[in-house]
Structure formats: structure tokens, C-alpha cells
Amino acid sequence: MEARAPFADQTLYDFEQSLASAEPVPGGGSASAIAGSMAASLLSMVARLSTDRPKYEAYRATHERALQVGESARVRLLELADEDASAYAAFAAARKMPRETPDEQQARDEATRQAARDASEVPLAVVRECARVSLAVEPMAGRSNLNAASDLEVAARLSAAAARGAVANVIINLPMVGDDSYTGMMTLEASRLLESVERAAALVTEQISSGGLREPEVE
């Protein structure tokens, strides 16, 4: 298989062409990570549109924290889009391994279990990053440039959608790992993270609907 360019180096059109093709990679996991990266980019944008504005000076610390999270998360989520594609490609390769003999079957099973573990851990990392983004977006609502309020809400909703998509990829791969304890631990963390992301998105929508500013965060 010909090596592909990292998604960060591709045009949006090229990425979507790959996504729309019959090839299994990239798939929903990479798409979720890209969506999360877009959410992080919007967070950075709103932070920049709010910094050095006299009306929002009292919220400078919130803007600075948001920008730091946005910049690191958008880069990391693009990396995770590639990691997800690689993890799923490895899983697909493991499922195609020969199984004519007991040794071949054992090797195939072991490779499948490890690949399934990797294919679960990468999307969980996406959920973690989305949670970081969401928890930085929420304090910005009502403490940032009101002209960019809708952009902030899009960031919250994109992050929530990305997290939910990534959780779906975690859950679907766990049965192939063959470890009930690991499955339980991963499922619990994914569920808790998703709950926090969706709660943050709801709070952002509620605050933006109010149309006003709120008190600065307590340092």
C-alpha cells in the first residue's frame, strides 16, 4: 500500500475524497478527530477575538487558558486522526492473517486482540482531548467576545459530536480485546468523559442563549 500524506498535510478536499471512498481508512474515528480539531480551532479563534479588547479585559486569564488548550488540542487531534487510521489498518491486517494451522490461528488471535486494544485506545484519546476542549469552551461562554458567541457554540457542539463519535469507535472495538476488566475500565472512562462533554455543551448553549456576560472566573 502506498504511503499517504498525514491528514494535516492534505487539503480538506483530498481528505474528504479519501473519506468518501470505498477504502475503510480513513473512517469514522479519523473524522471524529478532525471534527474535534475544528472545535479546538474555533476555541482558539474566539480566544484571539477576545484578547486585548477593553470590554473583555476582566476575562484575560480565561482567554489565555482557552487559547493554550485550543492550540495544543487542535494539533493533537490532527495527530490522532492519523493514529486512528493506522490503528484500524493494523486491525484489518490482523483479521486477514492466515489461520490454517493452530499456530497460525493463535498468532492471528493475538494480533487481533492487540490491534483491537490499540483501535480502542486511540479513539479514547480523542474523547479525552474533546473533554479538554469542552471544559475550556464552557468558561468562555459569557466571558468572551459576544460577536463570536455562535462560533463558541459551534465549538461546543462539534466537540460533543466528535466525542460521541469517538466513543462509538471505542465501544465497537472492545469485544475483540477479550478482556472483561479492560473493557469495563475503558467503557466507564468513555462514558464519564462523554457525559462531561455533553454537560459542558448544554451549559454553553444555555449561557449563550442568555445573551449577556457573567462574572470572571475565580482564580
pLDDT value of position 2 = 55
Helices (H), the chain: 12-20, 28-50, 60-95, 102-140, 149-173, 180-210
The domain limits of the chain are: 25-209
Q: What is the mean pLDDT of residues 178-185?
A: 95
Asked whether the beta carbons of 127 and 163 are under 8 A apart, the reply is: yes
List pLDDT tens digits, range 5-17.
899 999 999 999 9
* CATH number of the domain located at residue range(s) 25-209 in this protein: 1.20.120.680
Cis peptide bond N-terminal to 26, omega within 30: yes
List pLDDT tens digits, range 70-98.
999 999 999 999 999 999 999 999 999 99
Q: What span, in angstroms and rounded, lies between the C-alpha atoms of 84 and 30?
A: 6
Please tell me whether residue 2 adopts helix, strand or coil conformation.
coil
